[in-house]
Amino acid sequence: MTFIKTKISDVVICEPTIHGDNRGYFVETFRQDKLEEFIGYKINFCQDNESKSSKGVLRGLHYQLHPAAQTKLVRVISGRVLDVAVDIRKNSPTFGEYVAVELSSENKKQLLVPRGFAHGFVVLEDNTIFAYKVDNYYSPQNDRGIAFDDESLNIDWILKKEELKLSLKDTKQPKLNETKDLFEYGINYYA
């Protein structure tokens, strides 16, 4: 497995080695020891989640506040998405910037979205199955979000706005500059 720092170094692309032949393929999708060695801190994933969506479904931008903040390791089992992580750590040199990576069943890339980032994705193919690990359980009282179409973020979701399918919750999220519940840069949210 290869780990690649993105333009926001805390967000990491994980590229597994695919071993294939005429029978199919084998891929090791997760190695905790290798990932922790690369990122420099411990992660204890406690839950796996999976969703199936049609083309145009946009989920996000979501995050949970400390002490329920979550690190996510996301991947696509079938289909294709554009996956986005937004830095929401106040005073960070990359505050308000984002990383966007296409994840697909073909490229088998994964994205590590650490605590302190809002996360979302848009589905680019029908019947896409999206899976992810989290290191903290869902906490409704700590659940927050940011508007997917916040002009200050200027995220290119690839699809036209009229093609997008959103939950009611995701149509009512505040813009980043209207959000009081953010993270502080430099604080260790893993302690």
Q: Known catalytic residue: 132?
A: yes
Tokens 């204890």 identify what position? 44
Q: Which residues are annotated as a binding site?
A: 23, 28, 47-49, 59, 72, 119, 143, 165
CA–CA separation, 115 and 54 (whole Å): 28
Q: Known catalytic residue: 138?
A: no
Mean pLDDT, rounded, of the chain: 96
CATH architecture of 45-184: Sandwich (2.60)
Q: Where are the domains of the chain?
A: 45-184
What is the residue type of 145? G
For the stretch 52-61, pLDDT in tens is 999 999 999 9
For the stretch 148-172, pLDDT in tens is 999 999 999 999 999 999 999 999 9
What is the residue type of 28? E
* Res 191 pLDDT > 80: no
Q: Which residues are annotated as a binding site for substrate?
A: 23, 28, 47-49, 59, 72, 119, 143, 165
CA–CA separation, 102 and 170 (whole Å): 21
For the stretch 83-125, pLDDT in tens is 999 999 999 999 999 999 999 999 999 999 999 999 999 999 9
